[in-house]
Amino acid sequence: MGELVIAAVAAPFGRDLDAGFRTIERALQEARVCGAGLVVLPEGALGGHAEPPHDGGGDDPPPALEIDGPQLRRVAQLARDLVVCVGFCEAGDGGARHDSAAVLSGDDVHGVHRKVHLSRDEQRSTTPGDRLIAFDTPVGRIGMLVGYDKAFPEAARTLALDGAQVLAFMSAWPCGAAAPRPQDDRQWRRAELWDRSRAAENSLIVASANQTGTFGSLLFAGGARVVDPGGDVVAATGGECGVACASFDVAASLGRARRGMSPIHDLRPDLYRVAAPLAA
């Protein structure tokens, strides 16, 4: 396929869908200037953060959207020839809500991931997904993880073993506390650590998008980044809005990474125990 330019977006998204579409359109325009073929938007790009505000401001959930509804069709129209990963609140069965991500282009929705790992707060408003699979797209096989999912090496490893060439991480990742620079914040460092670790331990590319701005009492960290299969950040934004773009010959990049010392290549599954959570 040759070179693929991958773009990860840092931008603010709230409950106003029209404002969100304008932000998406601007981000896609900027990604096109970079020559992007794959664009990763943050968690909650359609309708904002999956939970109500954390400041006691009342129950204000995001709109629950259908996979075949007009909102995702509108993103597909904006995407046209681009492959776009976008986060949204999905309407599930029986009134359930899922913190979901879709990978789509102007032709089709190629796959949907429902966030698997939920914090205790998130469990009050959303229902976890129950599968981890990668999806074939016009630019290659893509695995998606939402927010807290990326903290779990087992999730990224499952997608890598399912043939993912690129992992798209979509987050609404907050800062822990005020810091002179976003990079000095503990949560920023933790998010970057997991982005880099998931790339290096699976010898594949990670494109990590994140929200900026505020939502209730939350201050989102920004810090969109693209990480190569060796775990090095090759493009990144700061705490402000922006688009991080990097170009890869994907097959060649993964091949080089996996010819040397590669954790994904040198697995010993005969020795590993099935994971089980520790007691609280």
Kindly give the confidence (pLDDT) of every residue in the chain, 280 residues in length, as a single tens digit, with 9 standing for 90 and above: 579 999 999 999 999 999 999 999 999 999 999 999 999 999 999 999 987 766 555 568 899 999 999 999 999 999 999 999 999 999 988 889 999 999 999 989 999 999 999 988 788 889 999 999 999 999 999 999 999 999 999 999 999 999 999 999 999 999 876 666 767 888 999 999 999 999 999 999 999 999 999 988 888 999 999 999 999 999 999 888 999 999 999 999 999 999 988 888 889 988 988 777 766 6
**Looking at residue 150, what is its pLDDT?**
97
- pLDDT, residue 273, reads 85
For 161, how many CA atoms within 13 A lie in the half-sphere containing its CB? 12
C-alpha 277/C-alpha 280 separation (Å) is 9
Q: Give the pLDDT score at 274.
A: 77
Residues 241, 242, 243, CA angle at the centre, nearest 5°?
150
CB distance 65 to 98 below 8 Å: no
Nearest to 187 by CA among 178, 174, 170, 206: 174
- Report the alpha-carbon angle 274-278-280, nearest 5: 155
SS3 258: helix
Q: What are phi and psi of 64, to 5 degrees?
A: -85, 120
Q: What is the pLDDT of residue 48?
A: 94
Distances (CA, A) of 34 to 30, 61, 160: 7, 34, 27
Which pLDDT score is estimated for 232? 98
